[in-house]
Structure 1
Amino acid sequence: MWYNNSDIRIEETPLPRPGAGEILIKVMSCGICGSDVVEWYRLPNAPLVPGHEMGGEVMACGEGVDAFATGDRVFVAPKVPCNQCTYCERKQFPLCTEVKERLPGGFSQALVVPETLVKNGVYRLPEKVTYDQSTFIEPLACVVRAQRLTRVEKGSTVMVIGCGMSGLLHVKLAKSRLCTVIALDINPAKIEMARRSGADFCLNAVENVPEKLTDQGIRKPDVVILCVGVMAAVETAWACVEKGGAVVFFAVPSPDKRVVIPINDLWTKEVRVLTSYYCGPPDIVDAMEHLDSGRISVDEMITHRFCLEDIAEGFRLVCDGRESIKVIIRPNE
């Protein structure tokens, strides 16, 4: 039960029972997302059980559920679109507001999946995808959508600013699409991780990045993907993006920060400024295929695994950000 990043409690509750149309899931692995530790984003709903990057095993099915059976290995999406509204018709699934049910927090030994999610948000895990790997499905799906929106394609030059878990997934996906990738971070360990993930050029973000690109003969990026919300990263994005390119806010600064867009400069360069917040069902399917085929490898990104009793240490590591990439909680160990 999360009250804030410094107040995380283990609480005992009765094992829930699935009602009609519901399923009971034994949570095997659940990743701590960067958004889980953003207090301005989470505090309005506190106290809550967080956790939305999860894979588990079906323990029981409620009346009327015939699509799944006890023992099935599954991934559960945090929320689902209605597939009927104007936004869904336009494939703008993250904007759908018709379905308000969310996945109960995955940092629990077991949870009941609501009927709406059972119908449209539960996916059987491919045989080759482990429970730990399943915690990457939702974040990778978000990465898939962001790169689709910004039209990342073969031959593109892509700059990723911030080489945490999401940034590294962007590096890996762009490389799988035969792009040239420039990776930026201030942490030497994460810069090295980006290099091992396939980035062609790895630079320290504290340096004069535009100057470094020129000195090393590196082409300006067609797409700049912001995976950190610090203001200095935003300024770097404006300074580096190529004419006709795009800057995508995959992460954003806190609400008290005002982002100033150099619109006159970007106007003459015809630069697009985009945001990408979540994903849709097609992106989840794509992400699962990338993991199942091995096109995107993720095991080397897992730096820590904890049992539920030690989750506070996992949150501390993610908040600190210097020693961890992917932190996974295994509630039933």
Structure 2
Amino acid sequence: MNAILTRPNRAAVLLSPNHVELQDWPEPAAGPNDVVVEISAVGVCGSDVHYFRHGRIGNLVCDRPIVLGHEAAGTVVATGSAVTHLAPGDRVTLEPQRPCGHCEQCWSGAYNLCRDVVFMATPPYHGAFARRVVNPADFTFAIPDSLSFEEAALIEPLAVGLWATERLDLKPGSSVLIIGAGPIGLLAGQAAAARGATRIVLSDINPARIGLVSRFPRFTAHDAAADPAYETIAEVDAVIECSGAPTAVTRALPRIRPRGGLALVGINPTGVASVDFWPAMERELSIHGVFRYAGMYPRAIALASSGLVDLKSVITDRFGLEETAAALAKASDDPSSIKSVVLP
């Protein structure tokens, strides 16, 4: 028997807001088109923190115990009878989306917009803060030995940033303002650089994040606390809004050149914002919603493997599975924490 499978499966279970408990967990079984993966690294996302602190995001409510975590990588330990492209021992990263595959959105390639999509760690579906999980083989991707499991777990947020640049159709030589220098913003900036953007400004109010931006030679850091209207920033071809701050869009629109673009990535915690759209009208700006991603994992893996993106650069904290609550609290409360990773 595989030595890994002799260890009982365990999971960090959110029982109620701020209450995570390490529990024995059912052993996952692979269906014909699934794989079972021994998890080696899971990134802590902002959505995990919201569920941890508040038990909900909008109308998505944790009304029963749930395992969080959807940025995951590990090793295949079992495969379903119909799986031919993966085998036990393969190192993989998990795309956490499970679309229906039959609706208009899925058939058009926009499976991230499938109305019946199942997404890891989104109520009522469990995530990857566990030793082993099951995942559809078609949404499980082999990774090269050059990528660590920690890096491979962050293919998921990289895919979000990459999708934002795809939606904007960024061209070589373009200029970009990224609002919010958290993990998504930093990775979106690196994705923009990989597409050939030559002026990339990352803005934040957090001094620790501004300091981290300064470590990237291709980025210019901007202190939004000192210049909240971005008046010191010359006009840009595109803005990628990653902060979710209610005032960010209104303040950013005048900084975009005529017929430039705005990508909306950040989630406004209130769900409501008053926006002055006149600059968008008079400049004929294109506004793009960014909801997760579609078809980005192979490109994100290739980009990370090429060395054009430094995934390790955003990791600031590491925790064991039994420390999942501490990882979530750190991500919630410590301004110097950029990305926490749980290592089951």
**TM above 0.5:** yes
Q: Distance in 2 between matches of 1:141 and 1:101?
A: 15
- Secondary structure of the residue aligned to 1:111 is strand
What aligned pairs does 1:190-205 form with structure 2 within 5 A after superposition? 190-205=209-224
Q: Residue 4 of structure 1 contacts residue 43 of structure 1 at CA under 8 Å; is this kept in 2? A: no
Q: Distance in 1 between matches of 2:204 and 2:36?
A: 41
Which letter maps to 1:18?
A
Q: Residue 5 of structure 1 contacts residue 316 of structure 1 at CA under 8 Å; is this kept in 2? A: no
Corresponding residue for 1:187?
Answer: 206
Task: Find 1:34's aligned residue among 40, 43, 46.
Answer: 46
Corresponding residue for 2:336?
Answer: 323
Q: Distance in 1 between matches of 2:95 and 2:230?
A: 42
Deviations 1:138-167 (A, max 9, x none): 111111111111121212110011101111
Q: Relative to 1, partners in 2 of residues 1:172 and 1:211: Cα closer, same or farther, differing over 3 Å?
A: closer
Corresponding residue for 1:166?
Answer: 184
- Secondary structure of the residue aligned to 2:236 is coil
Between 48-57 and 168-177, report the one with greater CA deviation.
168-177
Task: Find 1:51's aligned residue among 69, 74, 90.
Answer: 69
Q: Residue 213 of structure 2 contacts residue 220 of structure 2 at CA under 8 Å; is this kept in 1? A: no
Q: Percent identity over the alignment?
A: 27
Q: Residue 104 of structure 1 contacts residue 112 of structure 1 at CA under 8 Å; is this kept in 2? A: no
Q: Distance in 1 between matches of 2:101 and 2:195?
A: 29
Q: Residue 204 of structure 2 contacts residue 223 of structure 2 at CA under 8 Å; is this kept in 1? A: yes
Give the helix-richer structure, 1 or 2.
Answer: 1
Q: Residue 18 of structure 1 contacts residue 112 of structure 1 at CA under 8 Å; is this kept in 2? A: yes
Deviations 1:152-207 (A, max 9, x none): 12121100111011110011111222321111111122112112224442111012
What aligned pairs does 1:163-312 form with structure 2 within 5 A after superposition? 163-179=181-197, 180-210=199-229, 212-213=231-232, 218-254=233-269, 256-281=270-295, 283-312=296-325
Number of residue equivalences:
321
Corresponding residue for 1:23?
Answer: 35
Correspondence 1:130 to 2:148: yes
Q: Distance in 2 between matches of 1:81 and 1:16?
A: 20
Q: Relative to 1, partners in 2 of residues 1:24 and 1:269: Cα closer, same or farther, differing over 3 Å?
A: same
Q: Residue 25 of structure 1 contacts residue 111 of structure 1 at CA under 8 Å; is this kept in 2? A: yes
Deviations 1:16-42 (A, max 9, x none): 343444322111111111121223325
Q: Distance in 2 between matches of 1:47 and 1:226?
A: 32
Q: Relative to 1, partners in 2 of residues 1:5 and 1:317: Cα closer, same or farther, differing over 3 Å?
A: farther
Q: Residue 209 of structure 2 contacts residue 336 of structure 2 at CA under 8 Å; is this kept in 1? A: no
- Secondary structure of the residue aligned to 1:286 is helix
Q: Relative to 1, partners in 2 of residues 1:101 and 1:325: Cα closer, same or farther, differing over 3 Å?
A: closer
Corresponding residue for 2:8?
Answer: none
Q: Relative to 1, partners in 2 of residues 1:266 and 1:22: Cα closer, same or farther, differing over 3 Å?
A: closer
Q: Residue 178 of structure 2 contacts residue 241 of structure 2 at CA under 8 Å; is this kept in 1? A: yes
Which letter maps to 2:220?
F
Q: Distance in 2 between matches of 1:80 and 1:156?
A: 34
Task: Find 2:111's aligned residue among 86, 93, 107.
Answer: 93
Q: Distance in 1 between matches of 2:328 and 2:152?
A: 19
Corresponding residue for 2:5?
Answer: none
Q: Residue 247 of structure 2 contacts residue 275 of structure 2 at CA under 8 Å; is this kept in 1? A: no
Corresponding residue for 1:147?
Answer: 165
Q: Relative to 1, partners in 2 of residues 1:314 and 1:242: Cα closer, same or farther, differing over 3 Å?
A: same
In the superposition, the TM-score normalised over structure 1's length comes to 0.88
